[in-house]
Amino acid sequence: MSAHDEMIGQATPPQGVLARFAAFRENKPHIFLLLLMMAVALLMMDPRTWVLLTISGLAMGAMVFLMASGMTLTFGLMNVLNLAHGAFISLGAFAGASVLVWLSSQASEPSLLINLAAILPALGFALVVAGLLGLVFERLVIKPVYGDHLKQILVTVGGSIIIMELIHVVWGPNEIPVPRPEALTGAFLLPESLPVIGGVALEKYRLIAVVLGLAIYGLMTWIIERTRVGILIRAGVESREMVEVQGYRIRLLFLGVFVAGSALAGMGGAMWAMYREIITAHMGDELMISVIVVIILGGLGSIKGCFYGAVLVGLINLYVGYLEPRLAAVATVGLMVGVLMWRPQGLIPVIKV
Amino acid sequence: MLNRILSGDYPRSRALSVLLVVIGVCLALGPFLFPGVRAFSMLGMICVFIIVVASYDLMLGYTHIVSFAHTMFFGIGAYGVAISTDAFGSGFGAVFIGIGGAVFASVLLSLLLGLLSLRVKAIFFALVTLAVAFAFLSLVTQLYNLTGGEDGLAVRGPRELGPAFRPFDSKVPGFSVIDFVVGVFTQGSIGQAFQDAMFEVRVNGRHLMYYITFVTSVLVFLFLLRMVNSPFGRVLQAIRENEFRAQALGYRTVFYRTAAVIVSAVLATVAGVLFALINRYVNPENTLNFELMVFILLMCVIGGMGTLYGAVVGTAVFLLAQNYLQDFLGLLVQNAEPGSLFAELAGPDRWLLWFGLLFVLSVYFFPSGIVGQLRLWAARRRERKVEQASSAPVES
């Protein structure tokens, strides 16, 4: 915080600046926190490392955003806490990995176009499998326990065990190596002529993950803010009864959101599988922690908050992982606790908690 | 007398009473009824986990607080003793230093968690504890100088509690119930079976440790029974049923909730201490794993939430299933073709699949668990009797 204070303090007289700074902190807490974290990190490492870590952090944030967005909407819209979300991530990873292994001849070609013939089916298959399971899961497991948080937690934990065990049944209990398509391996070199950061090697896959994450964030924002379905979703988050009174079948709407959220989680899992290049059935459990931190950080039910939360989690993971690798997980949870102390509702709350 | 010991909270079902007495006798005389190392370690685990699950039930069943950090407190207790005996030698002094430090850490952490949960909605507590427990697990795994990392620590407890210590020279006779029953069926002669079932137990420090665990477990259970039937416990249940109303009646619900969380954390720590001393080895897998947390949740729900007797029944049933269901499933698929779907689904490694299924079904159809269902049946039967008694005079 001190670094930020000083930076602004030099530019303009203190009285008005402090007030404006406080207003900025209160009105745009997500941007404030993001800038603060990036500034503090910049002070603690050299700029080349910082650029590298920031890009990697954004890539991780983009993938975590894909996984978390479904869960935050499910909670915001229907007040359903789905702790089996991690199992959908694992399932997507395994589904995507099997397609990649199956199409490994296409995946190992150096041409991007031929690679795409393996990547798109892999992501698509992960999307479809996780989405279908989401449909079945909502009907069978979650539908009977609407409105009862305790039972939701119990039932979804049980459902998560069942899904993970079924993954063991289908794919076996061992870790599976995932071939990363040839065109996505390797790195771009930034031109040497650039000041300070010239010659930094950026991994291609991370850049693509950032682009894809931003694209999906943009698409979701467009759907939520500009389309009729989006209006209904936002209205449903705000007041469920009111939407029902207008004659919309909110159950159906919710089912759609749930399926879409599960499908996105599956796709995020498949991307994570290509990123890590090795997967286990319990990877979902570990990612689930990041997902939970993200949705608490962002404020339950908010897509924008979820995006910024994911970026924050990705960045702090990479920064702290570089400075002191052993504390990365602790820092992530510490960030959550800190934000909860400061703003109990999260950064951008949508629903009144 | 019995009323005082049980705090007026009887099992209220004949089947349940029988079940509890059987479990109690098996645990009390366990080392002399079941021969073998495996059975002995399992008895110890049942005693330890009765404490863990009963204290968890105080939160989950009586107050409807879902916490995923219960294994964290369990782990604090286990690691507290392990680290302190590692550093200060294997005397009783080191054990007590470990206990003191662990309980202090648990109280502090649970207080912080409780205060954090006050600021946010109840459902957040589940998510926050899940994240905090994960951070703790990763910290323990990473700080290998102190905790041994993934490899864990061997606990060098006091000599008096180890296998080398022998309080008596003579052997104590034991009587194997299972061998006796099997013998009666296979041989047909009760006398011969009785002879075969006799075995000898050489009492050593491990038995002493087992009985310390058993007595602690009984005392903790009776303490919790007292607690949930006290005015304090009533308020917890009031909060569970309708928090807003409890608040309106003038109870500071936040205070009661935090107190429940702290009590349950301290008891979990005690269980962790006993676990470290009886198991003599702690690592993240057997104390802090997320899977262990899910097991505790399963034990609590299958036994019956909101009934402390459910903790006893659930723990016994679950741990028996965990140990012996695998053997049973192994027998089941013995004749099945290896690699077939049936063999994959019913293989011994898939026992958790069936337990998960059972768990989900029991949440839907028997939300109050084994104990709740037994009580319900008993209550229905009593009702029928009352009806018959009251309708009989009218007919005559």
pLDDT at A197: 66
pLDDT tens digits, one per residue of B129-157: 888 888 898 888 888 888 887 888 888 87
Contact at CB, A340 and B116, closer than 8 angstroms:
yes
Domain of A328? 57-177+195-342
Global pTM reads 0.87
Cβ neighbours for A88, distance < 8 A, ≥ 6 positions apart: A70, A130, A133, A134, A163, A262, A265, A266, A269, A284
Q: Is B337 exposed, middle or buried (0-12, 13-18, 19+ CB in 10 A)?
A: exposed
In angstroms, the separation between the Cα of residue B74 and the nearest Cα of chain A is 19
User: If you count residue pairs, one on A and one on B, with CB atoms under 8 Å apart, how many are there?
Assistant: 109
- What CA–CA distance (Å, rounded) separates A119 from A114? 9
pLDDT tier at B270 (50, 70, 90 boundaries)? very high
pLDDT tens digits, one per residue of A66-75: 888 888 888 8
pLDDT tier at B396 (50, 70, 90 boundaries)? very low
Most confident of B66-80, B147-161, B288-302, B359-373: B66-80
Q: What token pair was written down for B240?
A: 């569970």
Scanning every residue of chain A, which has its alpha carbon at the shortest distance from the alpha carbon of B368? Answer: A151
Confidence check: pLDDT of B206 > 70: yes
- Contact residues on chain A for B57, CB-CB shorter than 8 A: none
Scanning every residue of chain A, which has its alpha carbon at the shortest distance from the alpha carbon of B365? Answer: A144
Q: What is the mean pLDDT of residues A244-256?
A: 87
pLDDT tier at A30 (50, 70, 90 boundaries)? confident
* B117 or B241, greater pLDDT: B241
Residue numbers of A between 163 and 192 with CB closer than 8 Å to B: 165-166, 168-169, 173
Q: What is the mean pLDDT of residues B89-107?
A: 89
pLDDT at B235: 92
CB count within 10 Å of CB B191 equals 8
pLDDT tier at B219 (50, 70, 90 boundaries)? very high
Confidence check: pLDDT of A80 > 90: no
In angstroms, the separation between the Cα of residue A276 and the nearest Cα of chain B is 19
Confidence check: pLDDT of B119 > 50: yes
Most confident of A47-56, B229-238, B369-378: B229-238
pLDDT tier at A15 (50, 70, 90 boundaries)? low
Confidence check: pLDDT of B252 > 90: no
Q: What is the mean pLDDT of residues A189-201?
A: 68
Nearest to B363 among A154, A289, A334 (CB): A154
Establish if A81 belongs to a structural domain: yes
pLDDT tens digits, one per residue of A207-222: 888 888 899 889 888 8
Q: What is the mean pLDDT of residues A141-166?
A: 85
Alpha-carbon distance values, B215 to B41, B49, B211 (Å): 16, 13, 6
Q: Name the percent of chain A lying above pLDDT 90.
A: 7
Confidence check: pLDDT of A118 > 60: yes
Q: What is the DSSP letter of A265?
A: H
- Contact residues on chain B for A288, CB-CB shorter than 8 A: 130
Q: What is the mean pLDDT of residues A47-57?
A: 84
pLDDT tier at A14 (50, 70, 90 boundaries)? low
Confidence check: pLDDT of B254 > 70: yes
Nearest to A330 among B139, B350, B367 (CB): B139
pLDDT at A286: 81
Nearest to B356 among A158, A296, A341 (CB): A158
Contact at CB, B363 and A141, closer than 8 angstroms:
no
pLDDT tier at A2 (50, 70, 90 boundaries)? very low
Q: What is the mean pLDDT of residues B93-114?
A: 90
Contact at CB, B360 and A158, closer than 8 angstroms:
yes
Question: How many C-alpha atoms does B341 have within 13 Å on its Cβ side?
Answer: 1
Confidence check: pLDDT of B103 > 90: yes
Q: At what angle do helices A303-323 and A283-298 cross, to 10 degrees?
A: 120
Scanning every residue of chain A, which has its alpha carbon at the shortest distance from the alpha carbon of B344? Answer: A169
| Total domain count, chain A | 1
* B223 or B118, greater pLDDT: B223
pLDDT at A353: 37
* B9 or A230, greater pLDDT: A230
In angstroms, the separation between the Cα of residue B64 and the nearest Cα of chain A is 7
Confidence check: pLDDT of B167 > 50: yes
Q: Name the percent of chain B lying above pLDDT 70.
A: 94
Confidence check: pLDDT of A161 > 70: yes
**By C-alpha distance, which of B85, B265, B231 is closest to B159?**
B85
pLDDT tier at B52 (50, 70, 90 boundaries)? very high
pLDDT at A350: 67
Alpha-carbon distance values, A181 to A29, A67, A95, A325, B328 (Å): 39, 22, 16, 28, 44
Q: What is the DSSP letter of B282?
A: E
Q: What is the mean pLDDT of residues B357-385?
A: 86
Scanning every residue of chain B, which has its alpha carbon at the shortest distance from the alpha carbon of A344? Answer: B120
Beta bridge partners of B153: B282
Amino acid letter for position A140: L
Q: What is the mean pLDDT of residues B108-137?
A: 81
- Contact residues on chain B for A161, CB-CB shorter than 8 A: 294, 352-353, 355-356, 359
Confidence check: pLDDT of B395 > 60: no
Confidence check: pLDDT of A352 > 50: no
Let me know: does B286 contact B352? Beta carbons within 8 Å: no
Positive or negative torsion for Cα B55, B59, B61, B63: positive
pLDDT tens digits, one per residue of A281-296: 888 888 888 898 898 8
Establish if A142 belongs to a structural domain: yes
Contact at CB, B344 and A289, closer than 8 angstroms:
no
* Chain B residues with a Cβ under 8 Å from any Cβ in chain A: 60, 64, 66, 116, 119-124, 126-128, 130-132, 134-135, 138-139, 142-143, 290, 294, 297-298, 301, 344-345, 349-350, 352-353, 355-357, 359-360, 363-364, 367
- CATH (domain of A210): 1.10.3470
Confidence check: pLDDT of B105 > 90: yes
Residue numbers of A between 59 and 98 with CB closer than 8 Å to B: 81
Complex ipTM more than 0.90, yes or no: no
pLDDT at B109: 92
pLDDT at B101: 93
Q: What is the mean pLDDT of residues A122-129?
A: 89
pLDDT tens digits, one per residue of A302-332: 888 889 999 999 999 888 888 888 888 888 8
* Exposure string for A169-192, b = 16+ CB within 10 A, e = fewer: bebeeeebebbbbbbbeeeeebee
User: How high does pLDDT run on average in chain A?
Assistant: 82
**By C-alpha distance, which of B312, B299, B216, B296 is closest to B20?**
B312
Confidence check: pLDDT of B292 > 80: yes
To the question of domain B2-167+203-388 being in CATH 1.10.3470, the answer is yes
pLDDT tier at B120 (50, 70, 90 boundaries)? low
- What CA–CA distance (Å, rounded) separates B295 from B272? 15
Nearest to B121 among A158, A161, A353 (CB): A353
User: How high does pLDDT run on average in chain B?
Assistant: 84
pLDDT at B393: 63
Contact at CB, A289 and B297, closer than 8 angstroms:
no
Confidence check: pLDDT of A83 > 80: yes
pLDDT at A9: 46
